[in-house]
Amino acid sequence: MQGIMQDWQLTVDKILDHAAENHGRREIVTRSVEGPIVRTSYSELHSRAKQVSAALLDLGIKQGDRVATLAWNSARHMECWYGAMGIGAVLHTINPRLHPEQIAWIANHAEDRILMVDTTFLPIIEGAWEHFRTLEKIIVLTDEQHMPQTSLDAVPYELWIDGQSASTPWGGFDENTACGLCYTSGTTGNPKGVLYSHRTNVLHTFMTLPPDVMNLSSADTVLPVVPMFHANAWGLAFSCAAVGAKMVMPGAQMDGASIYQLLNDEKVTITAAVPTVWLMLLNHLEENNLDLPHLKRVVIGGSAVPERILRAFEQTYDVDVVHAWGMTETSPLGTLGALPAHLVGADIESRIAYKLKQGRPPFGVELKIVDDAGKRLPRDGETSGRLMIRGLAIAAGYFKGEGGNKLDEEGYFDTGDVATLDEMSTVQITDRAKDVIKSGGEWISSIDLENIAVGHPKVANAAAIGIYHPKWDERPLLIVQPAPGETPTKEEVLAQLQGKIAKWWTPDDVAFVEEIPLGATGKINKLKLRETFKDYTLPTA
């Protein structure tokens, strides 16, 4: 027997319809690429997104066609999103920090027909133009007045949508229709495309809202520093509109001073970004003796939250930190560190200890850890294994079948992360499977070593990698980037680790480098480090 209820397809156009109808005057504030702060509203954004739809239809874009963006977080970027998604096209967000040839590779693989690009990134396209094979039209996200000289057949966005109808119909297609495409940065092999559906994006939106997740309300002002090309700005491009929260978009400026200015001027209550961004902000606050009177909550993920950042927000600035773990393949939320009942009101040290972990899954996410043979491991908070995930918005595979079947017999996806789980499903990521250091058959967590090392004031960044050892197979080498003007010694760095790790985890050596290389998503590029140090001989070898 079937229920007798309405059929209301879960498509993302309904999210912006809802925002325009119920929160029409709520603002979307952008630090524009042209310079000035620009203000628009959900109602205006809705009309302009419909104009984008009309302009795309004029270019012959059909359901399932890929429309790409290479853009900062801005109201215009939001318009492109909803404009493409609303008519059933697939919005493909490209990460501009990738190498230009890799960008072309991704655009070709996705078979992008249209590219909407910020002026900042136009030179990337011009420089690699010979490699792009499927692009038919370039739309530059600016007006005629600011349109740069270009050798490409490109039109300014404002001119392109000018005069287009603001009442193009949206939706009317199946909720399982593809909606968005996002490639993972591919630290191994070629990048792979994660193809979100309307249904999974809408369900993920519902999942992000509750108090134990991102805790969003129409009264909030949200600054997504996390880029829209990183898994939908962790869903915020949808969830802010779903509740009618005011949005503040940072555009191209993500340095400490610029972010502080937005937080303060716009009275931001919730913000989200990777740890690197918060380090820059915290430095700015300290140097200028500033505080954060409006900010209630900061969501931090993408890599483990260093204790220094956690303590600064919680203890110095009285801002609640939500430590989140996820990946492009998980839409991206997997787990979040809202305090469980028994820790609400607990002493600060217990709360800090909990928040250093990656938190727990919201409803809609299931987790397990397994050994290399796929056998379930105990949830004792100590045993670590491969973290496997199943849920309402988790990838089943990659675009065009790259990489083959990605699910195990129970339908779980292998995250490539190594973690412990406790009986409440609290996750602690100990490593990425490919980064774990295997010493005498036992695993050493590179993340732990790095996080403790960066706690030393003379250390700006640290990375631990496994180096060949004749007896133990691999032993850890700690690579350190000193803080500006500092010259830490090996002894000082190792002393920082002492007592905080098992003795046998102590790195066999410390190497100092001017700069630790970062990848396109701002994470340490271990592949590059392993290459640099491939002939390194440990003093213990």
Q: Which residues are catalytic?
A: 184, 329, 438, 443
- Residue given tokens 């918060």 in the structure block: 278
Q: Residue 132: phi, psi to the nearest 5?
A: -80, 130
Q: Is 526 in the site for ligand ADP (CB under 6 A)?
A: no
Say which residues have a Cβ less than 8 Å from residue 490's Cβ, sequence separation at least 6: 509, 510
Backbone φ, ψ for residue 281 (5° rounding):
-65, -45
> Smallest gap, in angstroms, from Cβ of residue 274 to ligand ADP?
8
Type of residue numbered 56: L
Nearest-approach distance from CB 327 to ligand ADP, in angstroms: 3
Binding-site residue total for ligand ADP (CB under 6 A)? Answer: 21
Question: Is the Cβ–Cβ distance between 479 and 533 less than 8 Å?
Answer: yes
Rounded to an integer, what distance in angstroms lies between the CA atom of residue 252 and that of residue 135? 24
Is residue 304 within the footprint of ligand ADP (CB under 6 A)?
yes
Site for ligand ADP in 415-474 (CB under 6 A): 415-417, 429, 432
Is the CB of 26 or the CB of 386 nearer to ligand ADP?
386
Contact between 525 and ligand ADP (CB under 6 A)?
A: no
User: Which of helix, strand or coil describes residue 438?
Assistant: strand
**What are the two backbone dihedrals, phi and then psi, of residue 127, each rounded to the nearest 5 degrees?**
-65, -30
CB of 434 to ligand ADP, least distance (A): 10
* Binding flag, residue 184, ligand ADP (CB under 6 A): yes
> Near ligand ADP by CB under 6 A, which window of 29-37, 152-160, 280-288, 298-306?
298-306
DSSP string, 448-489: HHHHHHTTSTTEEEEEEEEEEETTTEEEEEEEEEEPTT----
- Total residue count of the chain as it appears in this document: 541
Beta bridge partners of 502: none
Cβ distance to ligand ADP smaller for residue 102 or 328: 328
Q: Does 354 bind ligand ADP (CB under 6 A)?
A: no
- Taking CB under 6 A as the binding criterion, the range among 84-92, 117-125, 133-141, 300-308 that sits at the site for ligand ADP is 300-308
Nearer to ligand ADP, 273 or 285 (CB): 273
Return the amino acid letter for 105.
W
Nearer to ligand ADP among residue 49 and residue 520 (C-beta): 520
> Is residue 302 a contact residue for ligand ADP (CB under 6 A)?
yes
Q: Could you say whether residue 258 binds ligand ADP (CB under 6 A)?
A: no
- 325 lines the binding site for ligand ADP (CB under 6 A): yes
Handedness of CA 428, 461, 256, 237 (dihedral sign): negative
- Using the contact rule CB under 6 A, the part of the chain among 128-136, 320-328, 370-378, 458-466 near ligand ADP is 320-328
Cβ(318)–Cβ(291) below 8 Å: no
- Residue 232 CB, shortest distance to ligand ADP, in Å, is 12
Q: Nearer to ligand ADP by C-beta: 51 or 328?
A: 328
CB of 60 to ligand ADP, least distance (A): 33
As measured in angstroms, the least distance from the Cβ of 236 to ligand ADP is 15
Q: Which of 69, 271, 426, 521 binds ligand ADP (CB under 6 A)?
A: 521
Select from 31-39, 143-151, 215-223, 323-331 the region that touches ligand ADP (CB under 6 A): 323-331
Q: Closest distance between ligand ADP and the C-beta of residue 323, in Å?
A: 6
Stretch that binds ligand ADP, among 38-46, 114-122, 214-222, 295-303 (CB under 6 A): 295-303
DSSP string covering 216-270:
--TT-EEEE-S-TTTHHHHTHHHHHHHHT-EEEE-BT--SHHHHHHHHHHTT--E
Query: Of residues 14, 308, 379, 523, which one binds ligand ADP by CB under 6 A?
Result: 523
Residues 486, 490, 492, CA angle at the centre, nearest 5°? Answer: 70
Structure tokens at 497: 């680790």
Structure tokens at 88: 């059933």
Asked if 298 interacts with ligand ADP (CB under 6 A), we say no
231 vs 92: CA distance, rounded Å: 10
Q: What are phi and psi of 389, to 5 degrees?
A: -135, 145
Cα–Cα distance for residue pair 244/496, rounded to 1 Å: 46
Q: For binding to ligand ADP (CB under 6 A), which residues are involved? A: 184-185, 187, 301-304, 323-328, 358, 415-417, 429, 432, 521, 523
